[in-house]
């Protein structure tokens, strides 16, 4: 099994003149806030004793405690992010840098002559690609209002969260919410594996990656943020569809030591969870609750978004 497919690590140059985290607005962000779901606190599970990608620090299974919190049932959508931008004038890192990374299958064959990521050549760096135009200039019509917003960096997600009065989840909160009260399970719905035949509980790849996506789950690419069956807490697409930023740095737990250590080569990276529509068991088996990856905080791609959590009042 290859360890880095649908979420390669991108090195991006520092962005100058980034907008401040807390932004003024003439429109109250509360008017844009979804009804967040209450998640009970207490004893929570983190990780797994059945690690698959051991270099990612998936194991071991351990217990922790989380305070009660609220979490939005879906990832932040294009419609909500557009309202934020309209109200504040915010510019994303991709817009400042002038490019973002797009999966090659989303580009016309004549436009695939782009700089590529050496370790994952199906990723093209496309000038002008951003949340507004997800495949580059002229692709604004591909931005569906009810789809998760993508081409969002960790900085962008944090700025939206601060403005909206929320925050990004910790890894423990994210896993606790994703388990939906089921305990030590592999997926938000339990342990039954998705397949390429008839069990399609989430939006991932079916077929041969990266050449052929059979789209048997109904989607070749992004699905609406509220799609497929929710988990036990009423949360949609906690795995598959888009990677989701967390508040934490990407660190791995040594199986031989109790201390958490920064992964070699991952200093400064931020943790993402949940996998995406590009994941498949044959290549990037990261649509499991315990699966994890990391990337640089100014990176953005066509399959990375976020959702918000809130402290209890």
30 lies in a domain?
no
pTM: 0.90
The residue segments making up the domain with residue 219 are: 43-87+147-311
Q: How far apart are CA 242 and CA 300, in angstroms?
A: 12
Q: Which residue has the higher pLDDT, 63 or 256?
A: 63
Q: What is the pLDDT of residues 209-225, one digit of tens each?
A: 999 999 999 999 999 99
25 lies in a domain?
no
pLDDT averaged over every residue in the chain: 88
Name residue 281's beta-bridge partners. Answer: none
pLDDT at 276: 98
Query: What total number of domains does the chain contain?
Result: 1
177 lies in a domain?
yes
Could you tell me which of 171, 188, 195 has the C-alpha nearest to residue 244?
A: 171
Instruction: State the average pLDDT over residues 176-201.
Output: 97
14 lies in a domain?
no
Task: Give the count of beta carbons closer than 10 Å to the beta carbon of residue 118.
Answer: 8
Q: Is residue 302 scored above 60 in pLDDT?
A: yes
Q: What is the pLDDT of residues 134-166, one digit of tens each?
A: 999 999 999 999 999 999 999 999 999 999 999
Q: How far apart are CA 107 and CA 124, in angstroms?
A: 9
Q: For the domain that residue 187 is a member of, what is the CATH number?
A: 3.90.1580.10
116 lies in a domain?
no
Q: What is the pLDDT of residues 245-259, one digit of tens each?
A: 999 999 986 544 444
In three-state secondary structure terms, 121 is: strand
**What element of type H or E holds 229?**
none
139 lies in a domain?
no
Q: Is residue 87 scored above 90 in pLDDT?
A: yes
Task: Confirm if 222 and 147 have CB atoms less than 8 A apart.
Answer: yes
106 lies in a domain?
no
Task: List CB contacts of 128: < 8 A, sequence separation 6 or more.
Answer: 98, 99, 136, 137
61 lies in a domain?
yes
Residue 39, CA atoms < 13 Å, CB-side half-sphere: 33
């Amino acid at each position: 099994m290859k360890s880095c497919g649908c979420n390669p690590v991108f090195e991006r140059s520092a962005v100058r003149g980034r907008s401040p985290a807390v932004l003024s607005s003439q429109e109250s962000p509360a008017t844009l806030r979804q009804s967040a779901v209450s998640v009970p606190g207490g004893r929570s599970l983190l990780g797994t004793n059945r690690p698959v990608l051991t270099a990612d620090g998936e194991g071991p299974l351990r217990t922790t405690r989380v305070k009660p919190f609220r979490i939005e049932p879906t990832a932040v959508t294009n419609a909500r992010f557009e309202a934020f931008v309209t109200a504040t004038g915010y510019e994303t890192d991709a817009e400042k840098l002038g490019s973002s990374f797009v999966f090659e299958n989303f580009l016309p064959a004549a436009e695939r002559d782009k700089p590529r990521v050496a370790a994952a050549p199906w990723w093209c760096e496309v000038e002008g690609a951003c949340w507004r135009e997800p495949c580059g200039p002229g692709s604004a019509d591909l931005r569906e209002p009810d789809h998760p917003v993508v081409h969002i960096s960790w900085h962008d997600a944090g700025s939206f969260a601060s403005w909206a009065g929320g925050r990004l989840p910790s890894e423990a909160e994210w896993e606790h919410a994703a388990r939906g009260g089921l305990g030590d399970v592999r997926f938000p719905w339990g342990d039954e594996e998705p397949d390429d035949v008839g069990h399609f509980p989430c939006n991932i790849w079916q077929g041969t990656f990266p050449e052929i996506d059979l789209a048997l789950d109904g989607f070749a690419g992004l699905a609406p943020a509220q799609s497929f069956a929710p988990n036990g807490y009423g949360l949609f697409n906690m795995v598959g569809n888009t990677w989701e930023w967390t508040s934490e740095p990407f660190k791995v737990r040594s199986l031989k030591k109790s201390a958490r250590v920064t992964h070699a080569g991952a200093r400064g990276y931020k943790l993402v969870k949940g996998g995406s529509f590009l994941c498949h068991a044959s290549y990037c088996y990261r649509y499991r609750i315990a699966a994890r990856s990391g990337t640089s905080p100014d990176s953005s791609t066509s399959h990375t978004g976020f959702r918000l959590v809130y402290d209890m009042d």
